[in-house]
A and B are shown apart, each in its own frame.
Chain A
Amino acid sequence: MPLPNRSTNYATSAAQSGHLRPATSPSSSRQGGRYTSLTQILDCPSSSATFECAVIFQAEILNRKFPLRGILATFLLLLTLLTATAATQTHRATLSEAILSDDATKQIELVNQLIEAGGDAFVVQALGAWRQGGVFLHETNETRTPFLLDAQTDGEGRAKGIRVADGAPLTDSSGKPLLFAATDLTAADTSSKLRKAIKTVLDLFAIANPDPKMRRDAVVKLGQDQNQEYLQHFEVRLKTETNVDVLKGLYEAMELTRIASDDASVRLAAIQKLSDLRSISSLNFLQELEKNARADTGKYGEETLKAAHSAVIQIQDYMKLGNLFGTAFRGLSLAAVLLVAALGLAITFGLMGVINMAHGEIIMVGAYMAYVTQNFFKSWFGASGIGFDSYFIAALVVSFFVASGVGLILERGVIRFLYKRPLESLLATWGVSLLLQQLFRHIFGAANVQVSSPSWLSGSLVVSDVLFAYNRIFVIGFAVLIVFGTYLLLTRTSLGLQIRAVMQNRAMASCVGVRTDRVNMLTFAFGSGLAGMAGACLSQIGNVGPSLGQNYIVDCFMIVVLGGVGNLVGTVSASIGVGVTDQILQPWLGAVMGKITVLAAIILFLQWRPAGLFVTRSRSLEG
């Protein structure tokens, strides 16, 4: 890529550095942006064009109204531009000096001077690179020149070296640009203190980052430093900020900074504000303040102590409330996971009475189908975008049909011979489960495969500081949907009627002309299909590997048995009961003890009521 001449360079950087705001076009708000290529920054034809347009445009407006002043203004504007250019140059020189310096304190001092650069794109890039070991030193006999590598590499992975001091490429004596490979170079070293200083400077720059998430993160982090000097930077941003999240972060950061103020009235007001904001992130700081105030009432005063104390209580109460909702949601979501996994079994074991030890493996088949579908979509649509994101919907369908196919084969091949011998069906299906595991290990390898979540299932909804993860919301919705669907199928269709008839009394159903064999086959296939969809769902939450089924099979049987065999309502209530209990116990007892307690409780419950929560009169089980 050809490098532009110097003057355009500087004009561009100056336009981005923000010194001209707000006189120029919106392009100036691109300051602090992340650039992938250095040459892109240096080139930036679009923004430099916009900048020139802005100058001409402004000159024209001014000329029309006040000709002479217009010229003067244009001149002034150009002057500012030149000073900005000079400033950029100084910043780069400062940075270069800092990198070359051997004195750690001086380095930090110099880096702190760079705060003035206000997000000059090149300085941001170079500082970031330095912090992560991307700045290298070019040493000749007399001089050492810090440089970074251009993002564009040639076929052998070598790239041009860009001098930190002026952004020009390093050249050999004949003027040809030198090429470097990252692997051959040693980075200019940094100490952890220095890296922290760089990070702070970058955070200060990042307050103006175009990405609101980055802005928020930066603001929150700076607020936690409680450095009174940052307040001015916050205030500047507050005037222009529009994003609600960032604004909230800014408010919190400012108040958090102010509670460390020496002025008691400022402090009190800030504590009150934080308490009103229910700011969870400042709880620790308020507690600290309370502790200090208690220890040294003379310095902080009685009122600060009182205010801090009540603020801490306010926020803690708020957190408790949030926790309550959080636990309820987490309980429901665990219940939904259990329900989705167990529903298929509730059909095959609950209704049909087949002790299907291969249920877990059918879930696994579904999960692997999600993986296969994902790979197909990846090769068609690439690894992102709407095309890829929709793979999951297709995966649910594919999983359902493939798993029900597997179920069909299993029923026709093994289970139908064993309807009258339940114990042998246990052994046979267990054998099938081992076979399936080994088969998938053979096809896909022993290691887990990676199923990436579509973007609409990643992240979470935050309502008053309570997290609702999208994938969890989806699973809850999905559970409701399939339970409802199954209910409709069983009670509103003729197939459902036949299923119920066969399950209640096979001989009688056969006598009245129901093709029991066919019904058995379809029921088992349907149950397996549900298990397959469960697998696709679980691929969004946990691992996909050959032993996936083993992790769920015990839980599935537990839910079905606890709910009462042959009863959908029982399965639903059992999963909700187990899910919520588990989530309530977990924070107290820890994950291990929580699980053990739930298991023990279930065993005791089954001692008391062996038939489970809801007892169904079903002849297939009495026989």
Chain B
Amino acid sequence: MKKLLMNCLAVALASLAVLQTSAAETVKVGILHSLSGTMAISETSLKDVLLFTFDEINKAGGVAGKMIEPVIVDPASNWPLFAEKAEELLVKDKVAVVFGCWTSVSRKSVLPVFERNNGLLFYPVQYEGEELSKNIFYTAEAVNQQAIPAVDYMLAEGKKKFYLLGSDYVYPRTTNKILKQYLKSKGIPDSDILEEYTPFGHTDYQTIVAKAKAFAAGGKATIISTLNGDTNVPFFKEFANAGLTSENCPVVSFSISEDEFRGLPAKQLVGHLGCWTYFMSIKSPENTKFVGDFMKWVKAPTLAGVDYKVSGVDSKGRVTCSPMNLSRMGVYLWKQAVEKAGSFQVDKVRTALIGQKFKGPAGLVTMQENHHLVNNAFIGETLANGQFKIIKTMNNVAGEPFSEKFLGKK
């Protein structure tokens, strides 16, 4: 009863606050994530975490005194529609900043729109690099913050043979191209590197697993997997059936985070590795708070400060993962930059963003001049409960989009 009373009081206070602040000024912020179609499973979580972050910031007084008002559009996993929706956000809604995109192809599709309208986009998901737009800030892991540390780790573990396996699209192909060069520079001969791609939705991994088994027969082999989404299920089933394990041929996956793990057979994945700049299992006060608050928020999602009703947030079995953390980092960095610049103008915010630091759940992040973050990278081993056990930490890895720079060529 007392609790109920308290709740009522809280609601009353909150609505009072709403009344007050709705008179206060707001700033429009765009969210450009697919809420339907094939990518919805992954991207919906990012929309949730963004709203959660807006709620956090609004409760703490907003951005430069203004409350964040989200404008959510649904590009429905349809790449051309991403460009249309981006245009809509920038021209019609005149948002100050957009947080969005998951796949590289969607980012490529909105890039010209942002450049033409001089918009501002924060992109939070690991990607292949080789791109730098003055209108995009990449909080995402670049290849040298995810793939290279993972390969370095496997080399240090004494692995000598690398099977690069991926889904057939731009991210795996570019990443593997860079990795091949990198491995060669580390003295791994061509004959010990295999490269293979499978289509989206591929279910027949017999041949590939048979190949991998022969490849791993001589020991010291590892699979670097950029397989996307649910193709991992038939792959890992086949892999386990062939008697391969994380002991005799570990798989490092770049596309499986805690969030994807929810739809995968845990039993078959145990012991395999992942590399990200954030894991839910990180022990830090910031992370404990982030995870705790987020779990509380999804049960009763609200957005303080503005008249906005949050809906469609699933409260069951939620986790946090690297793209979610990086989305949130983006919002905070943008907030700091706006407050430093004293303006929402894109050009001023862009200048102010460089050098912004924020102490997040995974440690301090710094925005560099190349629009990428300095971040800590972690290697984790998957556990049966869907979490990663961190087995190696690399501090302050500076993101670098262009492979020539970190490969030291040309």
Contact = CB atoms under 8 A, between A and B. Distances in A.
Interface of A: 132-133, 183, 192, 196, 217, 220-221, 224, 280-285, 319, 323, 326-327, 330, 333-334, 337, 445-450, 452-453, 458-460, 462, 467, 469-472, 541-543, 545, 547, 551, 582-583, 586-587, 590-592, 595
B219 interface: yes
Contact of A586 (B201, B207, B241, B248): B207
Given A458-B241, A467-B241, A583-B207, 7 more contacts: A224-B218, A449-B263, A450-B263, A467-B243, A542-B237, A543-B233, A591-B207
Contact of A446 (B40, B157, B210, B214): B40
Dominant SS among interface residues on chain A:
helix
A217 B247 contact: yes
A284 B206 contact: no
Contacts of A330: 206-207, 210
Interface in B318-349: none
B242 A217 contact: no
B212 to A, nearest CB: 11
Contacts of A541: 203, 234, 237
Nearest to B245: A217
Contacts of A467: 210, 213, 241-243
B215 to A, nearest CB: 10
Given A224-B220, A285-B218, A447-B41, A469 B198 contact: no
Contacts of A285: 218
29 contacts: A192-B153, A217-B245, A224-B220, A281-B219, A283-B217, A284-B217, A285-B218, A319-B214, A330-B206, A334-B204, A445-B314, A446-B40, A450-B266, A452-B267, A459-B241, A460-B243, A467-B210, A467-B213, A467-B242, A469-B241, A469-B242, A470-B241, A472-B206, A542-B233, A542-B234, A543-B234, A551-B201, A551-B203, A591-B199
Given A541-B203, A587-B207, A592-B199, A281 B265 contact: no
Contacts of B220: 224
Interface residues of B, number: 50
Interface in B216-245: 217-220, 230, 233-234, 237-238, 240-243, 245
A591 B218 contact: no
Contacts of A445: 314
A283 B391 contact: no
B263 A591 contact: no
Nearest to B240: A458
Nearest to B314: A445
A547 B77 CA distance: 14
B226 to A, nearest CB: 14
B307 interface: no
B299 interface: no
Nearest to B221: A284
Contacts of B38: 547
Contacts of A192: 153, 156-157, 392
Contact of A595 (B158, B199, B243, B247): B199
B391 A133 contact: yes
A543 B219 contact: no
A292 B40 CA distance: 54
B201 to A, nearest CB: 5
Contacts of A582: 204
Given A470-B241, A591-B207, A447 B262 contact: yes
B342 to A, nearest CB: 42
A448 B237 contact: no
Nearest to B220: A224
Contacts of B56: none
A257 to B, nearest CB: 13
B41, B197, B202, B206 pick with most chain A CB within 10 angstroms: B206
Interface in B47-74: none
Contacts of B354: none
Contact of A591 (B157, B196, B238, B314): B196
Contacts of B105: none
A445 B243 CA distance: 32
Interface of B: 38, 40-41, 153, 156-158, 168, 196-199, 201-204, 206-208, 210-211, 213-214, 217-220, 230, 233-234, 237-238, 240-243, 245, 247-248, 262-267, 283, 314, 389, 391-392
Contact of B197 (A217, A471, A591): A591
Contacts of B207: 327, 330, 583, 586-587, 591
B218 A450 contact: no
Contacts of B196: 590-591
Contacts of B203: 541-543, 551
B206 A196 contact: no
Contacts of A450: 263-266
B214 A280 contact: yes
Contact of B218 (A283, A334, A453, A592): A283
A334 B206 contact: yes
A318 to B, nearest CB: 12
A450 B283 CA distance: 29
B230 A590 contact: no
A595 B204 CA distance: 11
Contacts of A458: 240-241
B157 A333 contact: no
Task: Identify the 8 closest CB pairs spanning chains A and B, nearest first.
Answer: A284-B218, A224-B219, A542-B203, A448-B263, A591-B198, A330-B206, A469-B241, A281-B217
A65 B341 CA distance: 98
B200 to A, nearest CB: 10
Contacts of A542: 203, 233-234, 237
B294 to A, nearest CB: 18
A467 B205 CA distance: 13
A337 B204 contact: yes
Nearest to B168: A592
B14 to A, nearest CB: 30
Given A587-B207, A591-B196, A543 B230 contact: yes
A326 B283 CA distance: 47
A326 B210 contact: yes
A450 to B, nearest CB: 5
Nearest to A195: B157
Contacts of A587: 207, 211
B263 A592 contact: no
B100 to A, nearest CB: 19
